[in-house]
Amino acid sequence: MSANSLVDIRDVSLTYGQGVEGTLAVEHLTLEIEKGDFVAVVGPSGCGKSSLMKLVTGLVPPSSGSIFVKGEKVTRPIQGVGMAFQNSTLMPWRTTLDNVMLPFEIVEPHKRHLRSERGKYVAQAEQLLQTVGLGKFGKKFPWELSGGMQQRANLCRALVHQPELLMLDEPFGALDAFTREELWSVMQNLWIQKRFTAMLVTHDLREAVYLSDTVFVISHRPGRVIYRAEIDLPRPRTLETTFEPKFIDIVHDLRSRISHELAT
18 within domain boundaries: no
* 23 domain residue, yes or no: no
Residue 185: phi and psi, rounded to 5, are: -65, -40
Residue 93 covered by a domain: yes
The predicted pLDDT at position 260 comes to 80
Side-chain half-sphere of 2: how many Cα atoms within 13 Å? 9
Residue 238 domain flag: yes
Cβ contacts of residue 23 below 8 Å, gap of 6+? 15, 16, 17, 221
Q: Provide the residue-wise pLDDT of the chain in tens; the chain has 264 residues.
A: 566 889 999 999 999 887 667 788 999 999 999 999 999 999 887 777 888 889 999 999 999 999 999 899 999 988 879 988 877 789 999 999 999 999 999 888 888 988 889 999 999 999 999 999 999 999 999 999 999 999 999 999 999 998 999 999 988 888 889 999 999 999 999 999 999 999 999 999 999 999 999 999 998 888 889 999 999 999 999 999 999 999 999 999 999 998 887 776
- Partners of 41 in the beta sheet? 201, 216
Q: Is residue 70 part of a domain?
A: no
Cβ(153)–Cβ(134) under 8 Å? yes
In a domain, 254, yes or no: yes
Query: Is residue 222 one of the residues assigned to a domain?
Result: no
Asked whether residue 2 is domain-assigned, the answer is: no
pTM of the full structure:
0.90
Output the CA–CA distances (angstroms, integers) from residue 62 to 11, 27, 29, 73, 199, in the order listed.
10, 10, 11, 12, 18
Domain span at 179: 38-58+78-212+232-263
| CATH for 50 | 3.40.50.300
In the chain, the number of structural domains is: 1
Q: What is the pLDDT of residue 89?
A: 85
